[in-house]
Amino acid sequence: MKPSAFEPRSARPAAPVKNKPLRVARWRFYAVGMAMAAMVVALIAHVASLQVLPNADRGYQFLQDQGESRTLRTEVIPAYRGVITDRNGEPLAVSTPVSTLWANPKVLAAAVDRIPELAKALEQNPADLKARLERYSKKEFMYLKRGLAPQAAQTVLALDIPGVYEQVEYHRYYPAADVAAHLVGRTDVDDRGQEGMELAYDAWLTGENGAKEVLKDLRGRTVKELRLVKAARSGQNLALSIDLRLQYLAHRELRKALEAAGAKAGSIVILDVLTGEVLAMSNLPSYNPNDRSRNWGEGIRNRAITDLYEPGSTVKPWVVLAALETGKFKASDVIDTSPGYMMVGTKAIKDHQNYGALDMAMAIAKSSNIAMTKIAFALEPGTLRGMFARLGIGQPIGTGFPGEAVGSLPLFKASQRIERANMSYGYALNITALQAVQAYAVIASGGIKRPVSLLRVDTPPVGERVVAEDYTQQVQDMLKRVVTAEGTGRRAQAISYSVAGKTGTAFKAIGGSYAAQKQIGSFIGMAPADDPRIVAMVVIDEPAGTGVFGNGGYVAAPAFSKVAEDALRMLKVAPDNAKESESALASRKAAGDTAPAKPVPAANKAGSAT
């Protein structure tokens, strides 16, 4: 049937299509192939340029920087802290290289199963180490253990635990340990000064760190040192004034004295009269600066410089010095001390006994409170204070030592009679042992006051004249009488050298009043007596005995005797009176070298006179 012309075109059957083979134009094939080849060539060329030609592409520098940032490091070269020595070059503080182990917590956390192994090697608690690791989990640095011996550190590193690394530091070592600890001081774990001369001269001793570039592997271990960025500058050395031989001597004799007296604490200071240098300074209790694990408490204090006390009768030569200078008194003047006590207002000033009439020398030898009080009342109110101040009392010594105390030296009015009396025999003022030594050095040097130095002095200072030599010589002669059989300091006599000095005893103020059972006994003197080379002081704090058994002549003078004898020998000072001293010692024993069988009852503060 023939289709109608009116039927829709879509309804008509489609004409059959013949299949033809698919043909790709040859030029298109070659075009695609060439494009792909060009891309490969370009990629190879770029990679080659990055690897071989540094200037071919700025991407080279980027990739190089990225690689080096993972392997190239700048490390600190720790500076060497200066050495502290004694005056003869003997080391007192030196720095030794040690290893510090640290960890990258982010890396170490991936090896948490090895924490017990690491803790055992570090001698630490595994739980504590794991807890620390968790606290530092967001950081990239954590100390594991510091100050290890290099061999010990290598043992830990040999475990090859990821994230554990080593760095070299310096650790401070003190060869003299507790013997010189108070003067030398100590540093902390970061080698910063914390006490003593380590603190006072920290800037001088501290060097400047350097830097170097190193190549590290993926575990953070140094593979190669590439170049020095900046050389480390070592700190400067420091030579102290002390002689280590004398320091050991003072330390040993102080320990013996404290044990013999059953005392709480004490100090010994030895000063070179000619230069003002401190040749020895020992305090007990002490501490070992090599042991940072302990809290040493009061053992850290350098009592000779920082602790104040009322000096007692050691001020009496200064009172006589002031009296002679005014011209109101002469050495031969006699003072009546009968009947052994005197009233000042409602207070009784007492001597140990009725000494009767005493000249100036015997007033010092017997340590008469009454004689000193009468002298003080005869002088203008400010005279004693003026003399004491010129000798260095109540004034900064200027050693630069941390915590150096100045003390107090009040000015009393004429109406303050009991206060003026108290000052004349060593109360109502506060001083340090080092101030007392400096004051006696003025007498020993003929009236010249020299700066006290804790550093070695290469050129002795000229000093300043503060008192006429004639007066100091007279007082010096009086001090010789103190160490005879008739004086309070007979136990201070030395075998080979003449000595001169003064005993001191003072009750301690506790809670606003004086404790009769707590006192400080001291002896301060010079030797040889006629041409002094040294001034030395022994302070014994709270001896077990009271009365005579706790006074300076009993607990401190014997230590002075030994210190003076041995120190002068070490300094190669020629003996000046071996026979005389031996005779004096014999007479002393014949006269009774021991304390009375029964202690003298402790008096109030006005009765302490030794």
* Phi/psi at 3 (5° precision): -65, 150
Q: Are residues 201 and 253 in the same domain?
A: no
Looking at the DSSP bridge assignments, the partners of residue 99 are 148, 168
Let me know whether 484 and 449 are in one domain. yes
Instruction: For residue 401, give its domain range.
Output: 244-290+297-607
Residue 197 domain-assigned (yes or no): yes
Write out the E strands in 42-83.
Answer: 72-77
pLDDT at 592: 52
Residue 56 lies in a domain: no
Q: Is residue 9 part of a domain?
A: no
CB 226 within 8 Å of CB 213: yes
Distances (CA, A) of 299 to 72, 93, 178, 296: 48, 19, 10, 5
Q: Tell me how far apart the alpha carbons of residues 304 and 255 are, in angstroms, rounded to a whole number.
A: 15
**Same domain (yes/no): 254, 186:** no
Task: Check residues 609 and 128 and name the one with the higher pLDDT.
Answer: 128
What CA–CA distances, in Å, run from 568 to 86, 158, 249, 466, 499? 18, 56, 11, 27, 11
516 and 399 in a common domain: yes
Residues 235 and 353 placed together within one structural domain of the fold: no
Whether 112 and 257 map to the same domain: the answer is: no
**Residue where one domain finishes, among candidates 239, 257, 281:** 239
Q: Is the same domain home to 286 and 267?
A: yes
Q: Same domain for 184 and 152? A: yes
* Phi, psi for residue 274 in degrees, rounded to 5: -75, -25
**Residue type, position 504, single letter:** G
- Asked if 466 and 345 touch (Cβ cutoff 8 Å), the reply is no
What contacts 250, CB < 8 A, 6 or more positions away?
Answer: 268, 269, 270, 280, 281, 282, 563
Please report whether residue 50 resides in a domain.
no
- pLDDT tens, residue by residue, 400-440: 999 999 999 999 999 999 999 999 999 999 999 999 999 99
Token match 């002075």: residue?
560
| Residues whose CB falls within 8 Å of the CB of residue 171, separated by 6 or more in sequence, listed in order | 95, 96, 97, 98, 147, 191
CA distance 556 to 558: 6
The residue among 221, 239, 257 that closes a domain is 239
Which of 201, 221, 239 represents a domain boundary (last residue)? 239
Residues 115 and 211 in one domain: yes
Q: Is 268 helix (H, G, I), strand (E, B) or coil?
A: strand
How confident is residue 582, by pLDDT bands cut at 50, 70 and 90? Answer: low
Question: Considering the entire predicted model, what is its pTM?
Answer: 0.81
pLDDT band per the 50, 70, 90 thresholds, residue 72: confident
Name the token pair of 410: 């009040």
- The two beta strands, 164-173 and 91-103, are antiparallel
| Per-residue pLDDT band at 386 (split at 50, 70, 90) | very high
Please indicate, yes or no, whether residues 146 and 273 belong to a single structural domain of this protein.
no
Residues 459 and 337 in one domain: yes
| Total domain count, the chain | 2
**Same domain assignment for residues 488 and 536:** yes
Domain of 264, CATH number, reads 3.40.710.10
Is 282 one of the annotated active-site residues of the chain?
no
Tell me the chain's radius of gyration from C-alpha atoms.
41
List the Cα angle 505/280/318 in 5-degree steps. 40
Question: Is pLDDT larger for residue 247 or for residue 128?
Answer: 247
> What is the Cα–Cα distance from 477 to 361, expressed in whole angstroms?
8
| pLDDT tens profile 22-39 | 555 676 777 777 878 888
Helix, strand, coil percentages in the chain from 3-state DSSP, rounded to 5 = 40, 25, 40
Which one of 99, 267, 282, 313 is the catalytic residue? Answer: 313
Torsion 143-144-148-150 (CA) sign: negative
